[in-house]
Amino acid sequence: MSKKNTIEAVILAGGQSRRMGEDKARLRVGRRSMLGHARALAADLGLACRVVRVDRHAGNGPLGGVETALRQARAARVLFLSCDMPFLTVALVERLLEVEHSAVFAESKKMAGFPFCLSKGVLPFVEECLETGKLSVQDFARRHGCHVIIPRCDWPQLANINTPAQLVAARAAL
């Protein structure tokens, strides 16, 4: 079975962008919006792609988007991309997708984070985390016993653009 049939990409773009002060997904870095960078990455990987902007249960941070996406998943595994990581590379994500595990995360600064790939089978565990108020992706990764890949370099591939200063730096890095 091909990767296209077993993995789909989901871009989480439902955050409130409080630190940025405006919708991060629409901000441009280079020739594309940040959401456009994530869509292009999924296309380059040959994956069907959806964007989750509204969570099934609001106010649960990224884990709420994860739960929403896993409930709607059509593929056995879901690659989660954040809409605010315009420098993510195909090579890094392909490395992550090669690992056959129910939960595979990229690690940056000794923390598991985006991008990550989850099997649909972890949905009950995500639901349990939400029900008990454990909303951190970090906590989920640690408690679930995820597999972690460590990229050969952190910047700029794993940089999240969360503030106006980070946006200026990202634009200057192009």
All structural domains of the chain: 3-173 (3.90.550.10)
| pLDDT at residue 13 tops 80 | yes
pLDDT bracket for residue 23 (50, 70, 90): confident
Lowest mean pLDDT among 22-31, 75-84, 117-126, 142-151: 142-151
| pLDDT at residue 145 tops 60 | yes
Q: Give the SS3 label for residue 14.
A: coil
Answer for the pair 25, 35: CB distance below 8 angstroms, yes or no: yes
CB-based burial label for 7 (10 Å; 0-12, 13-18, 19+)? buried
Q: Which residue has the higher pLDDT, 95 or 144?
A: 95
Mean pLDDT across 128-136 = 91
pLDDT bracket for residue 15 (50, 70, 90): confident
pLDDT computed for residue 153 by the predictor: 64
pLDDT computed for residue 103 by the predictor: 95
| pLDDT at residue 60 tops 50 | yes
b (16+ CB within 10 A) / e for 26-47: ebebeeebbbbbbbebbeebeb
**Residue 174, H or E segment:** none
Answer for the pair 118, 77: CB distance below 8 angstroms, yes or no: yes
